[in-house]
């Protein structure tokens, strides 16, 4: 008697044979009826929401409702086959519909398709050539990171480079909530490993929801701290195993690293005096010995990686800002020469 392959196993085999990473989203237990039920119900929910949305955006753009439905279907299909991640919904946007109004009015709907295709090509080129760059600012409390993030952003504005500004922990609503819990005062001891997992949970949400999409679209990202801070604070400061942290980093975002890291270096005693008069969170209330270890961690990473540029934060603020701007301009110049 000829054996037949169960449909669930056949679909699992098909998914794993594809060149994209669909297998990453298949549970270890395999495909089951309950999984199909959840996926189908969620798909129907999104579809029912997208249908009126696509029709409404079509009216706004001045094209036939059927064009809006075609567009919604194609966007969802391409995202499902070639990209996306669990929990991601892709579809038309109101902002794009508004922009298309003048195009359709002046040139007709036939130009709409060509324009959308060109937009897709430009996005692909931005991803392939990595036009977006990732700049991070690092340093302990009191070194002036926030002020110098302003300087970096102003420099990019002056150079007409599109960018987004963000921070860690934080950057998304969920990550900001985790940040609040991380820095809050608790009537219990917070273990260093607990801190590390909270920070990385916020980071993964931030990376997937903000940083990667911005870089893929060709925008630069300016971030107040990133994974180097985890090595400095939880690795050197709390004494956690650096090798295990490296495994967590590789698992979470191994292929995503900053292109330029500006480390603002300052003696912990001086930094403590700078923040003495402000309300301090749980991390800022640590002992000076902790911040000496943090500084040691930052200096060790800066010495080992050429993407670091160390800035003496003990200098007057105006001089520090000038040095930061010089580093950013030099990086932009190098990047521009390398892309020509």
**Domain at 333, CATH number:** 3.40.50.300
The pLDDT of residue 17 is 42
Instruction: With cut-offs at 50, 70 and 90, classify the pLDDT of residue 95.
Output: low
Asked if residue 5 is part of any domain, the answer here is no
pLDDT at residue 91 in the model: 58
Residues 140 and 246 in one domain: yes
Looking at per-residue pLDDT, the higher value among 66 and 158 belongs to: 158
Question: In this predicted model, what pLDDT tens digit does every residue of 193-248 receive, in sequence order?
Answer: 999 999 999 999 999 999 999 998 889 999 999 999 999 999 999 999 999 999 99
| 23-55 tens-digit pLDDT | 444 555 556 677 677 778 877 777 777 778 778
Q: Higher-confidence residue: 249 or 57?
A: 249
Indicate whether 11 belongs to any domain.
no
CA distance 265 to 232: 13
Q: How confident is the model at residue 105 (pLDDT cuts 50, 70, 90)?
A: confident
3-12, 75-84, 292-301, range with the lowest pLDDT: 3-12
pLDDT at 127 over 90: no
- Identify whether residues 195 and 282 lie together within a single domain: yes
- Asked if 93 and 66 sit in the same domain, the reply is yes
The residue ranking higher by pLDDT, 44 or 127, is: 44
User: Which pLDDT score, from 0 to 100, does residue 180 have?
Assistant: 96
The domain in which residue 111 lies consists of 29-127
Domain presence at residue 14: no
Q: What's the rounded Cα separation, in Å, for the pair 151 and 264?
A: 13
What is the reported pTM? 0.66
Are residue 260 and residue 288 in the same domain, yes or no?
yes
Residues 295 and 209 in one domain: yes
- Final residue in a domain of this structure, among 57, 92, 127: 127
Q: Which of 74, 109, 127 is the last residue of a domain?
A: 127
Q: Does the pLDDT at position 63 exceed 90?
A: no
Same domain for 246 and 118: no
Averaged over 100-118, what is the pLDDT? 74
Residue indicated by tokens 């991601």: 88
163 in a structural domain: yes
Q: What's the total number of domains in the chain?
A: 2
Residue 108's pLDDT is 74
Q: Is residue 23 part of a domain?
A: no
Considering the domain boundaries, does residue 154 fall inside one?
yes
Residues 254 and 313 in one domain: yes
Name the residue among 48, 111, 47 with its Cα closest to residue 75.
47
**Domain-ending residue, one of 105, 127, 149:** 127
Q: Which is more confidently placed, 189 or 65?
A: 189
- Range from 66-75, 120-129, 146-155, 327-336 that averages highest in pLDDT: 146-155
Average pLDDT over residues 284-294: 96
Structural domain contains residue 92 = yes
Same domain, 119 and 184: no
User: Which one has a higher pLDDT value, 39 or 1?
Assistant: 39
Query: Is the same domain home to 133 and 37?
Result: no
- Name the phi and psi angles at 171, rounded to 5: 100, -25
Q: Is 13 part of a structural domain of the chain?
A: no
Q: Are 261 and 311 in contact (CB under 8 A)?
A: no
pLDDT at position 339 is 47
Is residue 154 over pLDDT 70? yes
Q: Which of 7-11, 67-71, 121-125 has the highest average model confidence (pLDDT)?
A: 67-71
**Residues 169 and 98 occupy one common structural domain:** no
pLDDT in the model for residue 336: 63
Q: Which residue has the higher pLDDT, 15 or 91?
A: 91
Supply the pLDDT for residue 145.
94
Task: Please report the pLDDT score of residue 98 as a whole number.
Answer: 67
Region class of 62: left (phi > 0), else alpha (psi between -120 and 50), else beta: left
Same domain, 50 and 165: no
Q: Are residues 89 and 223 in the same domain?
A: no
Tell me the percentage of the chain whose pLDDT exceeds 70. 78
pLDDT at 313: 97
């Amino acid at each position: 008697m000829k054996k037949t392959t169960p449909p669930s196993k056949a679909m699992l085999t098909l998914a794993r044979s594809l060149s994209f990473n669909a297998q990453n989203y298949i549970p270890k237990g395999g495909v089951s009826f309950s999984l199909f039920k959840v996926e189908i119900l969620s798909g129907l929910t999104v579809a029912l929401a997208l249908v009126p949305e696509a029709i409404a955006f079509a009216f706004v753009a001045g094209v036939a409702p059927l064009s809006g439905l075609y567009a919604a279907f194609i966007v969802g299909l391409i995202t499902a086959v070639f990209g996306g991640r669990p929990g991601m919904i892709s579809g038309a946007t109101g902002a794009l519909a508004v922009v298309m109004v003048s195009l359709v009015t002046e040139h007709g709907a036939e130009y709409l398709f060509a324009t959308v295709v060109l937009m897709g090509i430009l996005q692909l080129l931005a991803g392939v050539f990595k036009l977006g760059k990732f700049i991070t600012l690092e340093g302990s409390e009191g070194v002036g990171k926030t002020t110098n993030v302003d300087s970096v952003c102003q420099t990019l504005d002056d150079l007409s480079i599109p960018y987004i500004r963000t921070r860690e922990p934080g950057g998304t609503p969920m990550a900001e909530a985790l940040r609040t819990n991380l820095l809050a005062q608790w009537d219990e001891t917070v273990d260093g490993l607990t801190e590390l997992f909270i920070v990385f949970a916020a980071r993964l949400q931030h990376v997937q929801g903000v940083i990667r999409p911005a870089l893929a679209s060709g925008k630069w990202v300016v971030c107040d701290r990133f994974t180097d801070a985890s090595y400095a604070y939880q690795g050197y400061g709390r004494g956690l195993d650096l090798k295990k942290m490296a495994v967590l980093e590789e698992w979470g975002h191994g292929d995503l690293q900053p292109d330029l890291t500006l480390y603002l270096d300052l003696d912990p005693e001086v930094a403590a005096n700078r923040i003495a008069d402000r309300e301090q969170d749980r991390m800022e209330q640590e002992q000076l010995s902790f911040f000496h270890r943090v500084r040691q961690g930052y200096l060790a990473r800066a010495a080992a990686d050429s993407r670091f540029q160390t800035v003496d934060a003990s200098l007057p603020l105006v001089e520090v800002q000038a040095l930061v701007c010089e580093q950013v301009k030099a990086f932009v110049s190098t990047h521009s020469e390398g892309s020509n």
